[in-house]
Amino acid sequence: MSAATTPRLIIHGGMGRLEGNLDIPHKEHAYAQHRQATTRLEDFRDALTGIATDSHQVLLDEDARAAVLHALRLLEDHPLFNAGTGSRIQGDGKVRMSAALMDGPRNLFSGVINVEAIRHPIDLAALLATEEHTVLAGEQANAYARERGFLPHDPITPERRTEYEKLVLGKTGTVGAVALDGSGHICAGTSTGGVGGETPGRVSDAATVAGTYASEQMGVSCTGVGEQIVNQAAAAKLATRVLDGMALPEAVRKTIAEADALDYRFGLIGLDRQGGMEIGQTRGVNVLFASHDGATVRSFFDSLAEQTKSGTSQPR
Ligand code: GLY
């Protein structure tokens, strides 16, 4: 197998610092000194590295699409993350979830917006890829889910209920995965419970091409303030830059610099056809990621430790 087709994947569990009760430390408070935050960080690290390892095996056994779906299902099931079970509660006390899947080689985007009471929104997004109309929202998405046998599921955890009752609202939190398989196919997926406390009917970036995109050259999943990700058309812009010949690292740097100029808050994970994996994050943001390149599992935790050692300010 050539280096270009070595299967690898990268996943994210949202952004740390804006994730409500989780506060990922930055240079202003070295993380080693924050035992409580560090303990929470370890929970996120363990969850993400476990899911990355599990999903990498699916990538080896099957393909990029299967691995992305597997990763997203596990992330949706994990109560730590704001997607599926553990989604944040909206302003009217309900959970509405959005998810999207994009298959690079087929140039096929499918998504579901503001669906309620299902366990795996990503599966609904994947099913919509078989339809003529590939993005469904709201009541019609709920009805479609029931017709297709998606069983009722309550995604509200006691922790999210308490958070909602105390009006402890964060800014965002989302999960995502991008995988490259042995055939060189790239697939990307994103799933979110939104920002918490939002106006019912709000549409996040996740199930748009601003938040999720894959092509034959690259794949990307975003996390952060959805409106800002949409304003920047972040994922689609990154894909166009790579299509037009820019290397992924440069495309990520440029896209993030543009967002920083507007003082935006978001992050992304990207993966290209050569197997290069990139984390992009605006000022003050840490993307909670884990990656698996076939040999090594890395996570945001390793990056934070390296920055603390080297004294660098902006995490990568
Ligand atoms: N990025 C997730 C959201 O804004 O809903």
Confidence bin at 37 (pLDDT 50/70/90):
very low
DSSP string, 172-183: --EEEEEEE-TT
Q: Which atom of ligand 1 is nearest to the CA of 194?
A: 5
Q: How far does residue 192's CA lie from ligand 1's centre (Å)?
A: 7
Phi, psi of 258 (to 5 degrees): -65, -40
Chain-centroid distance of CA 112 in Å reads 15
Superfamily of domain 3-310, CATH level 4: (Glycosyl)asparaginase (3.60.20.30)
Q: Is 226 in the pocket of ligand 1 (CB under 6 A)?
A: yes
Question: Which residue's CA is minimally distant from atom 4 of ligand 1?
Answer: 226
Q: Which residue is it, tokens 């409500």?
A: 20
Q: Is 192 in the pocket of ligand 1 (CB under 6 A)?
A: yes
Task: Enter the tokens of residue 41.
Answer: 């960080």
Which three-class secondary structure state does DSSP give residue 291?
strand
How does pLDDT run across 160-189, given as a tens digit for each residue? 998 888 765 555 579 999 999 999 999 999
Residues carrying an active site annotation: 174
12-21 mean pLDDT: 65
Q: How far does residue 172's CA lie from ligand 1's centre (Å)?
A: 6
The Cα 297–Cα 206 span in angstroms is 25
Q: How far does residue 226's CA lie from ligand 1's centre (Å)?
A: 4
- What CA–CA distances, in Å, run from 311 to 29, 39, 281, 307? 11, 21, 18, 5
Q: How far does residue 20's CA lie from ligand 1's centre (Å)?
A: 13
Q: Is 206 in the pocket of ligand 1 (CB under 6 A)?
A: yes
Q: Residues with Cβ < 8 Å from 29, sequence gap 6 or more? A: none
How does pLDDT run across 284-316, given as a tens digit for each residue? 999 999 999 999 999 999 988 887 777 664 433
CB 268 within 8 A of CB 188: no
Answer yes or no: pTM beyond 0.85. Answer: yes
Closest CA relative to residue 145, chosen from 175, 162, 166, 120: 120
Q: Is 83 in the pocket of ligand 1 (CB under 6 A)?
A: no
* pLDDT for res 312: 60
Q: How far does residue 91's CA lie from ligand 1's centre (Å)?
A: 15
Q: Which atom of ligand 1 is nearest to the CA of 204?
A: 5
Whether the predicted pLDDT of 141 surpasses 70: yes
Task: Enter the tokens of residue 199.
Answer: 């106006």
Cα 42-46-50 angle, rounded to 5 deg: 170
Q: Which atom of ligand 1 is nearest to the CA of 193?
A: 5
Q: Which residue is it, tokens 């605006």?
A: 282
Q: Is 280 in the pocket of ligand 1 (CB under 6 A)?
A: no
Which three-class secondary structure state does DSSP give residue 135?
strand
The Cα 310–Cα 307 span in angstroms is 5
Q: Is 208 in the pocket of ligand 1 (CB under 6 A)?
A: no
Question: Which residue's CA is minimally distant from atom 5 of ligand 1?
Answer: 194
Burial class (CB in 10 A: 0-12, 13-18, 19+), 216: middle
Strand order in the sheet with 266-272: 212-214, 218-224, 266-272, 277-281
* pLDDT for res 172: 54
CB 15 within 8 A of CB 172: yes
Task: Enter the tokens of residue 275.
Answer: 């197997």
Domain boundaries, the chain: 3-310
How does pLDDT run across 216-267, given as a tens digit for each residue? 999 999 999 999 999 999 999 999 999 999 999 999 999 999 999 999 999 9
Regarding beta strands 135-137 and 108-115, do their DSSP bridges make them parallel or antiparallel, or are they unpaired? parallel
Q: How far does residue 19's CA lie from ligand 1's centre (Å)?
A: 11
- Mean pLDDT over each residue of the chain, to the nearest integer: 89
Q: Which residue is it, tokens 């990621």?
A: 289
Chain-centroid distance of CA 92 in Å reads 25
What radius of gyration, in Å, describes the C-alpha atoms of the chain? Answer: 18
Q: Is 174 in the pocket of ligand 1 (CB under 6 A)?
A: yes
Q: Which atom of ligand 1 is nearest to the CA of 195?
A: 5
